[in-house]
């Protein structure tokens, strides 16, 4: 259950970062926008998870736990595609399982 909540937080944060990067002509988030993204330790943990999965690149100040700037990583758009593809596969597998159960029951009853 914790993994699903973390993935939802990561997706929400990644959407926010993409929007902020799109609005800035340099594509780098800094200043007050960083303070909004890193306002709590939980939000910082989500940013670290996004950095680990190479969705964002964070530049850290020496000796500080607060990033100087954030920019999109090379896997940001791939992360969104992979996650949506996984959920689509799960949904299709669930529907196929239900249909298989119903069709198997019908074929057994007909025989």
Question: Is pLDDT larger for residue 83 or for residue 90?
Answer: 90
Q: What confidence tens digit (pLDDT) does each residue in 8-59 have? A: 888 888 888 888 877 777 778 777 777 777 778 888 888 888 888 888 888 8
69 close to 29: Cβ distance less than 8 angstroms: yes
Token pair in block for residue 28: 């780098």
Residues 61-86 have a mean pLDDT of 73
Bridge partners (DSSP) of residue 82 are none
Query: Distance between terminal CA atoms of the chain?
Result: 43
Domains of the chain: 2-110 (1.10.10)
Task: Check whether 105 has a pLDDT greater than 70.
Answer: yes
User: Which residue has 């190479």 as its token pair?
Assistant: 54
Determine the Cα–Cα distance for residues 58 and 10; give it in Å rounded to an integer.
15
**Predicted local confidence at residue 43, as pLDDT:** 83
């Amino acid at each position: 259950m914790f993994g699903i909540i973390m993935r939802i937080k990561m997706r929400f944060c990644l959407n926010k970062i993409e929007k902020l990067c799109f609005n800035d002509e340099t594509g780098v988030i800094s200043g007050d926008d960083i303070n909004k993204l890193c306002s709590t330790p939980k939000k910082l943990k989500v940013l670290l998870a996004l950095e680990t999965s190479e969705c964002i690149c964070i530049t850290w100040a020496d000796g500080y736990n607060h990033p100087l700037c954030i920019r999109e990583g090379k896997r940001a758009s791939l992360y969104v595609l992979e996650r949506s593809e996984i959920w689509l596969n799960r949904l299709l597998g669930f529907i196929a399982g239900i249909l298989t159960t119903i069709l198997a029951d019908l074929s057994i009853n007909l025989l």
